[in-house]
């Protein structure tokens, strides 16, 4: 085989290898766009694998091999005898394809990096909005917590005020109840110690001996005693008229609610002998007179301190006598 034949065969062989390298460049571009530069690829010529490479390295290896094979093929074509016109056309077409592929690669790289830049800007904008939203949420949450805290403090203060108000109202109700009880006590109709129908033997201020003599004279109750003449009774009962008058006066005063036997005795000692006289008295003046007599009784042991009438008692007697 001649030398030119060897050169022609070698030229066609390297041309075919160049075509395969160019196909690998396209393959690497497709994988780079689909999977990014983090995926693993293998650089193959025929079925021979040169080991795992990431996609970007695979692209550059394919590109360099294609460039080297293209240069070697061009060297074989242009070195020596003029090449076959069909071969020159094929080479020109390959060069044209390489130029197109180079432009595609450049455009792809530009688009790829532009998309990366746009993605970075979009991510930065998203992060900025997220941070703004987080700040707004944080401020809103803080404001809500502050408002709730103020509301709770106000509720606590209102509860304290309500508790104090309830306490005051309870005290006022207690005082009001005491006043009502006092008014009820003061306004309760007291029953007198004796009535007009009370038997004389039930009246403590009348001695049993006098009660028996009065019974013999057909005088058996308070009404009959008050209607009788004290002089007549004194003569028949062998008593002093003054004593009978005092007994009648005490019986009449015992018919006033609130007056007991000791009170009636003090009133008679002071000179009050009827219900009408008691009704016309001044409470303070009457109390002073009775207190003076009671003081003498205290000194002689005839009266205990707790039995001494008060000015309220005297005032109540006068009110009851006026009814």
Same domain for 110 and 212? Answer: no
Same domain for 122 and 8? Answer: yes
Q: Which domain holds residue 15?
A: 3-127
Query: Is residue 156 domain-resident?
Result: no
Show the beta-strand stretches assigned E in the chain: 40-45, 48-54
State the Cα–Cα distance between residues 133 and 136, nearest whole angstrom: 5
Query: Is residue 142 domain-resident?
Result: no
Q: How far is CA 260 from CA 83, 205, 291, 307, 313, in A?
A: 162, 10, 16, 10, 11
313: which 2 tokens? 């008692």
Phi, psi of 42 (to 5 degrees): -120, 135
DSSP 201: G
The three-state secondary structure class of 5 is: helix
Residue 307 makes CB contacts below 8 A (sequence gap 6+) with 262
Contact call for residues 40 and 50 (beta carbons, < 8 A): no
* Number of folded domains that form the chain: 2
Phi, psi of 137 (to 5 degrees): -65, -40
Q: Degrees (nearest 5) of the Cα angle 14, 68, 57?
A: 120
Same domain for 217 and 318? Answer: yes
Query: Is residue 118 domain-resident?
Result: yes
Query: Is residue 138 domain-resident?
Result: no
Q: Which residues of the chain have pLDDT under 50?
A: 80-81, 183, 187
Q: Which of 127, 148, 172 is the C-terminal boundary of a domain?
A: 127
Same domain for 208 and 99? Answer: no
240: which 2 tokens? 């002093």
Q: Which of 171, 156, 10 is nearest to 80 (CA)?
A: 10
State the Cα–Cα distance between residues 205 and 213, nearest whole angstrom: 15
Query: Is residue 26 domain-resident?
Result: yes
DSSP 306: G
Res 52: pLDDT:
64
Query: Is residue 136 domain-resident?
Result: no
Q: Residue 62, class by beta-carbon neighbours within 10 Å (0-12 exposed, 13-18 middle, 19+ buried)?
A: buried
Query: Is residue 135 domain-resident?
Result: no
Q: Which of 215, 250, 214 is nearest to 233 (CA)?
A: 214
Q: How far is CA 26 from CA 102, 110, 116, in A?
A: 10, 16, 21
Q: Which of 85, 108, 127 is the C-terminal boundary of a domain?
A: 127
Q: Which of 27, 57, 55, 30 is nearest to 41 (CA)?
A: 55
Same domain for 99 and 205? Answer: no
Query: Is residue 162 domain-resident?
Result: no
Same domain for 7 and 119? Answer: yes
State the Cα–Cα distance between residues 48 and 53, nearest whole angstrom: 14
Same domain for 27 and 113? Answer: yes
């Amino acid at each position: 085989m001649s030398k030119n034949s060897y050169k022609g065969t070698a030229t066609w062989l390297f041309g075919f290898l160049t075509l395969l390298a160019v196909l690998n460049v396209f393959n690497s571009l497709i994988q780079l766009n689909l999977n990014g530069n983090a995926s693993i690829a293998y650089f193959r010529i025929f079925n021979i694998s040169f080991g795992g490479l990431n996609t970007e390295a695979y692209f550059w290896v394919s590109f360099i091999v294609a460039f080297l094979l293209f240069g070697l093929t061009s060297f074989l074509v242009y070195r020596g005898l003029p090449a076959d016109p069909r071969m020159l056309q094929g080479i020109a077409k390959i060069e044209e394809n390489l130029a197109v592929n180079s432009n595609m690669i450049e455009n792809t790289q530009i688009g790829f990096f532009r998309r990366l830049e746009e993605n970075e800007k979009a991510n930065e904008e998203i992060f900025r909005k997220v941070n703004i939203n987080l700040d707004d949420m944080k401020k809103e949450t803080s404001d809500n917590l502050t408002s709730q805290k103020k509301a709770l403090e106000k509720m606590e203060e209102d509860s304290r005020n309500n508790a104090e108000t309830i306490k005051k109202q309870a005290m006022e109700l207690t005082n009001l109840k005491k006043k009502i009880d006092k008014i009820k006590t003061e306004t309760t109709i007291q029953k007198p110690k004796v009535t007009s129908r009370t038997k004389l033997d039930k009246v403590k201020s009348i001695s049993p001996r006098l009660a028996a003599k009065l019974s013999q004279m057909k005088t058996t109750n308070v009404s009959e005693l008050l209607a009788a003449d004290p002089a007549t009774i004194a003569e028949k009962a062998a008593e002093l008229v003054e004593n009978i008058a005092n007994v009648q006066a005490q019986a009449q005063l015992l018919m006033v609610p609130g007056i007991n036997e000791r009170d009636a005795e003090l009133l008679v000692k002071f000179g009050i002998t009827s219900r009408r006289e008691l009704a016309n008295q001044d409470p303070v003046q009457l109390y002073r007179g009775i207190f003076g007599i009671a003081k003498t009784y205290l000194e002689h042991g005839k009266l205990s301190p707790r039995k001494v009438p008060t000015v309220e008692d005297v005032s109540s007697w006068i009110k009851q006598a006026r009814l």
